[in-house]
Amino acid sequence: MAEQTNPPSQASKPPAPEGVSGWILFEDNHCLAFNKPAGTLTQGVPEGLPALEHIARDYLRHHYHKKGRVYLGIPHRLDRPVSGVVLFARSSKAAARLAEQFRDRQVTKIYQAWLAHPLDLELPGEDTWTDFIRKVPDEARGEVCAQDTPGAKQAITRMRVMLRLPGRTLVQLEPETGRMHQLRLQASLRGVPIVGDTLYGGISLEGPHSQPAIALHARSLTFLHPIRYGPITLTAPYPQHFPPPA
């Protein structure tokens, strides 16, 4: 049976290293997982913007009294306005094995999203979204395209409706592929953009401390421990800007 980790809800802004423990979903000698807030980039940011990578390194340096550079492997990422589970590796061996799991699609990623739509539009209870998408050259966005378009890659997502409200639907999304902005593009294509995703036609949504946010939450991540190989499921509590299911 998979291990379950359900910590308290996250803080609304990047804490000092000693206060980051409330964000941690899982920690051992090989892995470190956080509940990333919306508005925080995962890695490699412009000057002055918070990055979860830096927060994680500062935590390890402070908590374990490490000096010099702290190793941190990054096998996957979340978009800046997306909240939820982010997994890091604490050793090169763990990083290589986790990267292999993500590459070979052995990791189960479950997202939840609030979709906005006209009152007369109703999604089927379950569906599989299959499209071809590509990154727009020289722009930080993707687009849906024909299969034979240069750079086109197939995107597949399993969708299940969780809750229906007038003009809003809460869905569970399980991507089988990992393309740029995959879930956001596929929802927009079907006339049901994610709430807050103004890049792809959604209405605006304000996250913590006025940071950009969309109602897309990486709710859980299931993977094999890179050393012990036992299954682990990490579950991220909902952020304040994301209404939980009733």
Task: For the chain, list residues with pLDDT below 70.
Answer: 1-19, 45-48, 207-210, 246
Give the whole-angstrom CA distance, residue 19 versus residue 59.
9
**72-120 tens-digit pLDDT:** 999 999 999 999 999 999 999 999 999 999 999 999 999 999 999 999 9
Does residue 79 carry a catalytic annotation? Answer: yes
Query: What domains are there in the chain, each with its CATH number?
Result: 3-235 (3.30.2350.10)
Q: Find all residues with CB under 8 Å of 78, minimum gap 6, and list them.
A: 36, 42, 84, 86, 218
Q: How far apart are CA 94 and CA 101, in angstroms?
A: 11
The per-residue pLDDT for 20 is 81
pLDDT at site 203: 87
Exposure string for 97-136, b = 16+ CB within 10 A, e = fewer: bbbebeeeeebebbbbbbbbbeeeeebeeeeebebbbbee
Radius of gyration of the chain (CA): 18
Q: What is the pLDDT of residue 5?
A: 43
pLDDT at residue 226, rounded to an integer: 98
Where residue 178 falls (left for φ over 0; alpha for ψ -120 to 50; beta otherwise) is beta
Alpha helices by DSSP H, listed for the chain, are 52-63, 92-103, 182-189
Write down the pLDDT at residue 12.
40
**pLDDT value for 145:** 96
Q: Which two tokens stand for residue 187?
A: 């929802």
Instruction: Report the b/e string of 37-49 with b at 16+ CB within 10 A.
Output: bbbbbbeeeeeee
pTM greater than 0.85: yes
Q: Which of 28, 58, 79, 197 is catalytic?
A: 79
d(CA 225, CA 56): 19
Query: Which pLDDT does position 6 carry in this prediction?
Result: 42
